[in-house]
Amino acid sequence: MNLEIKNVSKVYPNGVKALKNVTLTIPNGMYGLLGPNGAGKSTLMRILATLQEPDEGSIRLGPLSDSGQAIDVLNQKDKLRETLGYLPQEFGVYPKARAEELLDYFAILKGFSERKSRREAVEALLRQTNLWEVRRQKIGGFSGGMKQRLGVAIALLGNPKLLIVDEPTAGLDPAERVRFLNLLSELGENSVVILSTHIVEDVSELCTNMAIINRGEILLEAQPLLAVAELKGRIWRKLIGKNTLPALEQEQQVISTKLLSGRTMVHIYSPEPPGNDFELVEPDLEDVYFSTMAGFYGNGRQKEVAP
Ligand code: ADP
């Protein structure tokens, strides 16, 4: 089973081209959609969740079983919704409701009409998301991480085959973030899980496949580990005074800069040794991301620079 997104475009009435001819094949498992704010991630997530229409394109999910047919997402919205779990960026909660009550309520909406099976499903999800101990507490007192985990519990009702999680770790503290990512990492064996994020580590820690999107365009589709391996020998670093950065940018393909005790650590992309005291870096996914965003790496690019 996979999710096939073909030539999807979306222009908002104000003229913003949020998605430009997006084509992606997303297999089972955790998939990272990585890009900066305004890249078009939420627009794509909302389209996949049937909350918004693209201007063009087609999307198919499935087949869900060996004998079944794929779901035409844009034309069979009800069918898709039966097997969709969606955790939006802004997840509104009812502060006075208790976790268990709210989950039970959503379970009824999702069609669990039989009381016993509903209780079992609710209990299993509360345990899975580590909320069982606090199930009788009011959601208004929950931390950001607890709310997000409750959102996942709701999204998981009915075992969705397509789970969409939009920017889930923004606003979580480091411990909550780790707990939340651990929860997501247990999902996804038998369904398509799409994690949209601007945080590179979310993808490097969790996702077996990924895409990088910017200004509505897919710049790279890759397996994180392979992309990192492909950059070996091409990323170099040097600590410089910040006044010398403009001159360096004229000479080298600078992909990122970071302040380090008042000086600037520069990473550059260079298939050949650049000399000048540059030191070879063991690349990571952040180098993949910045090389792609800077236009030195990405769909079709790596072939141009390969020796
Ligand atoms: P991301 O989720 O990656 O931050 P979005 O999909 O929210 O990106 O936005 C993509 C682009 O579309 C941005 O330039 C944003 O300002 C614009 N945009 C998003 N929603 C709307 C809307 N409802 N009307 C007009 N422009 C929008």
198 lies in the same domain as 237: no
What does residue 294 show for φ and ψ, rounded to 5 degrees?
A: -80, -5
* CB atoms near residue 38 (< 10 Å): 14
Same domain, 173 and 85: yes
Judgement on whether residues 275 and 184 belong to the same structural domain of the protein? no
| Pairing between β-strand 2-11 and β-strand 17-27 as defined by DSSP bridges | antiparallel
pTM higher than 0.95: no
Distances (CA, A) of 15 to 10, 34, 57, 156, 214: 10, 23, 18, 36, 17
Q: Which residue has the tokens 């009550």?
A: 101
6 and 86, same domain (yes or no)? yes
Task: Tell me, yes or no, whether 169 and 275 share the same domain.
Answer: no
Q: Are residues 70 and 165 in the same domain?
A: yes
Asked if residue 302 and residue 216 are part of one domain, the reply reads: yes
Domain count, the chain: 2
Residue 51 CA, chain-centre distance (Å), reads 18
Ligand 1 touching residue 46 (CB < 6 A): no
Q: pLDDT under 70 in the chain at which residues? A: 188, 300-307
Task: Look up the CATH number of the domain holding residue 6.
Answer: 3.40.50.300
Domain assignment of residue 119, yes or no: no
Could you tell me if 216 and 258 lie in one domain?
no
Q: How many CA atoms lie within 13 A of 46 on its CB side?
A: 14
Rounded to the nearest angstrom, the distance between the alpha carbon of 37 and the centre of ligand 1 is 9
Whose alpha carbon is nearest atom 26 of ligand 1?
Answer: 12
pLDDT value at position 282? Answer: 97
Q: Which domain holds residue 61?
A: 1-90+161-223+298-307
10 & 82 share domain: yes
Match 């990323």 to its residue by tokens.
Answer: 235
Domain contains 120: no
3 domain-assigned: yes
Task: Pick the atom of ligand 1 nearest to 44's CA.
Answer: 6
Question: ∠ CA 269-273-277 to the nearest 5 degrees?
Answer: 95
> Which spans in 129-255 are helix H?
144-156, 174-185, 200-206, 224-230, 245-251
Q: Whose CA is nearest to atom 20 of ligand 1?
A: 43
Distance 71 CA to ligand 1 centre (A): 27
Co-location of 5 and 86 in the same domain: yes
- The finding on whether 234 has its CB within 6 A of some atom of ligand 1 is no
66 lies in some domain: yes
Q: Is residue 192 part of a domain?
A: yes
Instruction: Note whether 241 and 272 are same-domain residues.
Output: yes
Please indicate, yes or no, if residue 247 is contained in any of the structural domains: yes
CA of 48 to the centre of ligand 1 (A): 15
* Pocket flag, ligand 1, residue 43 (CB < 6 Å): yes
Question: Could you tell which of 17, 37, 41, 43 is best to mutate to test the pocket of ligand 1, judged by most ligand atoms within 8 Å of the CB?
Answer: 43
The protein residue with its alpha carbon nearest to ligand 1, atom 5, reads: 40
Asked if residue 305 and residue 269 are part of one domain, the reply reads no
pLDDT in tens, 225-235: 999 999 999 99
DSSP label of 30: E
The atom of ligand 1 lying closest to the CA of 43 is 6
The predicted-structure confidence for 255-302, as pLDDT tens digits, reads as follows 999 998 889 999 999 999 998 899 999 999 999 999 999 999 987 654
Whether residue 228 lies inside any domain: the answer is no
Q: What is the pLDDT of residue 301?
A: 56
Q: Report which protein residue has its CA nearest ligand 1's atom 13.
A: 38
Domain annotation covers residue 286: no
What is the per-residue pLDDT for 302?
47
Q: How many helices (H) and strands (E) does the chain have?
A: 11, 14
Residues 6+ apart with CB under 8 A from 195: 30, 31, 32, 33, 165, 168, 184, 202, 203, 206, 207
Per-residue pLDDT, 306: 41
